[in-house]
Amino acid sequence: MAAEFKELPANAPTGEKVANWFENRFPSAFAGYKQHLSEYYAPKNFNFWYFFGSLALLVLVIQIVTGIFLVMNYKPDANLAFASVEYIMRDVPWGWLIRYMHSTGASAFFVVVYLHMYRGLIYGSYRKPRELVWVFGCAIFLALMAEAFMGYLLPWGQMSFWGAQVIVNLFAAVPFIGPDLALLIRGDFVVGDATLNRFFSFHVIAVPLILLGLVVAHILALHDVGSNNPDGIEIKGPNAPKDAQGHPLDGIPFHPYYSVHDLLGVGVFLMAFSAIIFFAPEFGGYFLEYNNFIPADPFKTPLHIAPVWYFTPFYSMLRAITTQMIYVLIAVAIIGALLGVAKAKVGAIGKIAILGATAVVIVLLLSIDAKFWGVVAMGGAVVIMFFLPWLDYSPVKSIRYRPNWHKLVYAVFVINFLILGYLGVQPPSPVGERVSQVGTLLYFGFFLLMPWWSRLGTPKPVPSRVTFKPH
């Protein structure tokens, strides 16, 4: 059944008539605009931490647009790829700018996503009813890592080639199917033209489609349950104060208030983004390694192979798992099992199950090569974030109202993550290995022990309404 057309008076303004013409013929678009912008009420106490969600969307658009122009001149061929990138940089009008926007945009994407995730961490944005929003966000992060890794190979420089060689060969450590899995990913027995073509197709078509779908799902899920705020107070619940029209008193329409508010963050971001592009596009070798300006040579291995900075915390965890570390993990498993048996409120069968599972884990740790467990640690460091909504047992959401020592726990977590990132770009050393092993235990301990430490201490009183000071 067709919807009824809305008629306007003959003397209505021309702009209103044009808008009405479109609304009569495309009502779902206008309904979506109202639902997600003009009539979507967000908490009125957002602070600067809430810039990074919109900035992530901005960088995604930058990456897509610049990627389209780069593909026009790039050749996904092992013999031509590096030369085509040089052609873009030297001969294509404004090609150097587009390439640097894309390479800097990759690092900028991870900067804003890491900060966006940290904001969700400190304010409890993953707690009920936003568990699915967090899960979609973690899936976006995982897809982003895959997209960045595949794009890293495309310039076909020394670090691209050898970095891909190292990472792809890690899959060979998977028991039974490892060699076949590595062969499937490479498309050949060595990283070569087949690998480049596979990664190009995934980087340009497959992963971006998945990424866009996840971004849409993330935003829709967020707008269905409503945004969190620095106080962790629900503004749209059944007991939340509302006006005569049913709108939350502690909320304001996203458009025009926050759409204009976010322009401040966009302006500051674009100034920093432009400064890096024009004055330090390599950023001291962290955004673009100097070895990647040398054509890929399968017969000349760089002295030190390391991934780009945004992968280095996880790369440190990969390198931290050695044979000695396996014995530490066995000791941790035994201690955990003993505590579980002593503290868990389960019967004899449950305690036997805990001890049996621990025995199986110990056998697996001893029987499978440490290289495989390094891959497990690297992947598990990302996967464990998916379970964060079910690991946090604190009675309050926001860090504002948790015990003060919780801030110290989060500070240690962040500093430890930064140290792991720094060690990941450094050549292996005995001291760095020990520090990364301790850092790996701290990283996983933060999550695995969260059901225990998140309940400790007395939280501060949570106000009934959001705290907001107009300015």
pLDDT in tens, 79-130: 999 999 999 999 999 999 999 999 999 999 999 999 999 999 999 999 999 9
**Annotated binding-site residue? 102:** yes
**pLDDT for the residue numbered 31:** 83
Q: How confident is the model at residue 471 (pLDDT cuts 50, 70, 90)?
A: low
Question: Mean pLDDT of all residues in the chain?
Answer: 90
Q: What is the pLDDT of residue 49?
A: 93
What does the block give as tokens for 72? Answer: 């026009």
Percentage of residues in the chain having pLDDT higher than 90 = 59
Give dist(CA 144, CA 121) in Å, integer: 19
Indicate the pLDDT class of residue 393, thresholds 50, 70 and 90: very high
Is the separation of the CB atoms in 394 and 456 below 8 Å?
A: no
195 CB-near residues (< 8 Å, 6+ apart): 153, 164, 168, 185, 186, 187, 188
Question: Is 471 annotated among the ligand-binding residues?
Answer: no
* CA separation for the pair 11, 4 (Å, rounded): 21
Q: In which element (H, E) is residue 259 found? A: helix 259-279
The 10 Å CB-count burial string (b at 16+, else e) for 41-64 is bbbbbbeebbbbbbbbebbbebbe
CA distances from 180 to 146, 161, 175, 201, 370 (A): 20, 20, 10, 21, 19
Q: Is 238 left (phi over 0), alpha (psi -120 to 50) or beta?
A: alpha
* pLDDT of 2 above 60: no
**Tokens standing for residue 412:** 């240690």
Q: Which long-range contacts link 445-451 to residues 24+ away (Cβ below 8 Å)? A: 446/409, 446/413, 447/384, 447/385, 447/387, 447/388, 447/391, 448/384, 448/391, 450/388, 450/391, 450/392, 450/393, 451/391, 451/392, 451/393
Return the pLDDT at 3: 59
Continuous segment of H or E residues that includes residue 215: helix 207-225
Q: Which helix (H) or strand (E) holds 325?
A: helix 323-343
Q: Phi first, then psi: what are they for 253, rounded to 5°?
A: -60, 135
What is the per-residue pLDDT for 305? 82
Residue-level pLDDT at 32: 83
**Would you place residue 1 in the very low, low, confident or very high pLDDT band (cuts 50, 70, 90)?**
very low
Q: Is the pLDDT of residue 346 over 70?
A: no
Q: Tell me if 116 is assigned to a ligand binding site.
A: yes
φ and ψ at 288, to 5 degrees?
-135, 110
**pLDDT at res. 470:** 67
Q: What is the pLDDT of residue 35?
A: 79
Neighbours of 418 (CB within 10 A): 12
Single out the residue of 271, 327, 305, 289 nearest to residue 441, CA to CA.
Answer: 327
* 144 C-beta neighbours (distance < 10 Å), count: 21
> What 3-state class would DSSP assign to 392?
coil
Instruction: Give, as one character, the DSSP assignment of residue 298.
Output: T
Backbone angles phi, psi at 287, to 5 degrees: -85, -40
Q: Are 398 and 123 within 8 A, CB to CB? A: yes
What is the rounded end-to-end Cα distance, in angstroms, of the chain? 49
pTM of the full structure: 0.92
| Residue 205 DSSP code | I
- The domains found in the chain, sorted by start residue, are 33-293 (1.20.810.10), 309-453 (1.20.810.10)
Alpha-helical segments (H) within 72-155: 81-90, 95-123, 131-153
Instruction: Using pLDDT thresholds of 50, 70 and 90, give the confidence band for residue 369.
Output: confident
DSSP lists the bridge partners of residue 41 as 253
Q: Is the pLDDT of residue 317 over 60?
A: yes
**Long-range contact set of residues 241-249: C-beta below 8 Å, sequence gap at least 24:** 241/465, 247/41, 248/41, 249/465
